[in-house]
Structure 1
Amino acid sequence: MAALLDQVAHASSRPRYAFMVLSLIAEIARPDGSAGPFISFDGRSILLRDWLCDALTPMGTRDPKRQALTERIRSELTRLGKLPDDPQAACAMIDEEVRERVRTSGKTNLSRAVSELVKEGLIRRHYQGFRVDHHNRGAQRHVVYTLTGRARCLMTRREARSMRDSRQGQLALN
């Protein structure tokens, strides 16, 4: 783990963010280390990149830029007359618009972090989808990330944790 942290720190301009991305991919990866293009979340299928962006979104909740974005959206919707009179409906509409805009910008941040991890050999990226798999996106293909190299150690930590959790609350009666 220490060697992985050192490698991420030297490879990435935002090492904490890159490590969070690696950890989230390891959390949902299949036994072969790959994740995507779709994952099952809350009983529905969602694109991997959308799920990663949504999972990382709470990290910026207190950021002044996020708060300014919320106020900017509120004033835009008010100016356009699209904001409902009901305060709860208005908050829901603002939250949804903030989520969509943050997801869009989050995909850029995610791509940058993954590109650094790909260059360092910690992730392999390819695109899967309509017709054929390919190393380039397009033609209705979506990303698949595969943990490689030292990043695979995150998988063993997950497996050990799941084995430990599965025994939780069980009594050994021998």
Structure 2
Amino acid sequence: MTTTTTDLGSIVARLAAASSRPRYAFMVLGLIAEAARPDGQAGPWIRVAGQGAGQGSGQGDDERHPLRDWLARQLVPLAARDRRRAGLRAKVAARLGSDDPARVDAALAEEALSVGKANVSRAVSDLVRAGLVRRHYEGRVTDHANRGGRRLAVYAVEPSVLNAIRSRPTLV
């Protein structure tokens, strides 16, 4: 892209050229930008208020989640009314051999999270291809460009993109 300025329109145009699901990728980009530190990097961990804690509560109630898990959990409500969810519920109940709603709901939530993480990974690959985000991995063994070895994803939003997104009070 030859333009020197980055605005939401140019971000959407770059996503439309690089992604088969540009709206979903844009939502993922917005969430990454929300979670990003001032340097534009998000991850490998996101601090989330605990179940009983409200905003601004003590740090003791906070939980840490891997960035990709946090992103997938944020996007799970999008699929809650999906017509495929009913079919997935039936498959999960058949696999479990139980119609117990609590067990089926727990297994369904686990399956939705797994699918959501895969979708987030594909969207981030589109963001990387569009030149909006850089990705690397950090973790227990050593920081590395490739995943594995208990390394977790870190996404870095390009400074001009982060500025364009954060300069808006609300996203489109």
- What's the TM-score once normalised by structure 1's chain length? 0.79
Deviation at 1:52, TM superposition (A): 0.6
Instruction: Give per-residue Cα distances to partners, 1:118-150, cap 9 Å, x unaligned.
Output: 011100000001132111011111000010165
Q: Which residue of 1 aligns with 2:112?
A: 102
Counterpart in the other structure of 2:52: none
- Cα drift, residue 103 of structure 1: 1.3
How far off its partner does 1:10 sit?
Answer: 1.5
Shift of 1:105: 1.6
Q: Distance in 1 between matches of 2:159 and 2:36?
A: 15
Alignment check: 8 A CA contact 1:36 1:144 kept: yes
Equivalent AA in structure 2 for residue 120 of structure 1: A
Q: 1:71 aligns with which of 68, 90, 111?
A: 90
The letter of the residue matching 2:133 is I
Contact (CA 8 Å) 1:34, 1:147: kept in 2 or not? Answer: yes
User: Where do 1:4-15 residues align within 5 Å?
Assistant: 4-15=11-22
Residues 155/33 of structure 1: CA separation in 2 closer, same or farther (3 Å cut): farther
CA distance in 2, matches of 1:30, 1:19: 19
Partner of 2:5: none
**8 Å contact from structure 1 (residues 60, 66) kept in 2:** yes
Q: Is contact 2:40-2:159 (8 Å) kept?
A: no
Matched, 1:144 2:154: yes
Structure 1's 127 and 106: CA in aligned 2 closer, same or farther, altered over 3 A? same
Distance (Å, rounded) in 1 between the aligned partners of 2:45 and 2:63: 10
CA contact (8 A) 1:22 1:151 kept: no
Q: Is the 8 A contact 1:33 1:148 kept in 2?
A: yes
| CA RMSD in angstroms, aligned pairs only | 1.7
SS of equivalent residue, structure 1 residue 127: strand
Q: Which runs of 5+ in 1 are unaligned?
A: 84-89, 162-174
Residue 136 of structure 1 aligns to a residue in which SS? coil
> Which amino acid in 2 is paired with 1:91?
P
Out of 34, 53, 73, which is 2:72 matched to? Answer: 53
Q: How many residues align?
A: 150
> What does residue 165 of structure 2 align with?
154
Q: Distance in 2 between matches of 1:150 and 1:141?
A: 27
- Match of 2:152, SS state, is strand
2:40 to 16, 26, 33: 33
Identity %: 45
Amino acid at match of 1:146: A
SS at match of 1:128: strand
- What TM-score does the superposition give when structure 2 sets the normalisation length? 0.80
**Which residues of structure 2 form unaligned runs of 5+?**
1-7, 50-61
Distance 1:45 1:2, change over 3 A: same
Structure 1, residues 16-43: CA drift from partner, whole Å, max 9, x if none? 1000100110111111111111101121
Higher CA-based Rg: 1
